Amino acid sequence: MSRSPKSPDMAGLFAALADPTRLRLLNLIAGREVCVCYLVEILRQSQPKISRHLAYLRRAGLVAARREGKWIHYSLSQPSDAGATEILAAVLSTLRNDKLMQADLTRLSRACCAPSRLILPEGAPRPAAVPA
């Protein structure tokens, strides 16, 4: 069975979603732009490890990066395929109910200079643990 050129790479999408660290990263950047330094601090993991996971998510088309000086800021990138978008939305919705994910968001909201710029899709509810 061959894939058409326009069909999404579902195996790549599910592989990207199959790692706990990548799920935690997606949870933290959903609806906001976050500097990699905060991700390292919140997840208490090394910068190279976090960067490898973010690169994996970028290759899967789930994360976008923006450079500002020496800092790189990450945000969620909506997949172009409607099915992949639905899967990502379902995963993110489920993550909101997970205690570890909620604790991560609380740590992010308490971090020094916590991200204040939220990027929310139209009609999306504001995360409770992150200030407006």
User: What pLDDT band is residue 6 in, cutting at 50, 70 and 90?
Assistant: very low
Q: Which residue has the higher pLDDT, 31 or 131?
A: 31
Residues 6+ apart with CB under 8 A from 116: 131
Alpha carbon distance 75, 62 (integer Å): 9
Question: DSSP label at 21?
Answer: H
Give backbone dihedrals phi and psi of 126, rounded to 5 degrees, phi first. Answer: -75, 130
Tell me what the pLDDT averaged over the chain comes to: 83
pTM of the complete model = 0.79
Q: What is the pLDDT of residues 76-113, one digit of tens each?
A: 998 888 999 999 999 999 999 999 999 999 999 888 55
Statement: 10-110 belongs to CATH 3.40.50.12780: no
Residue with tokens 């643990």: 129
Percent of the chain at pLDDT exceeding 70: 78
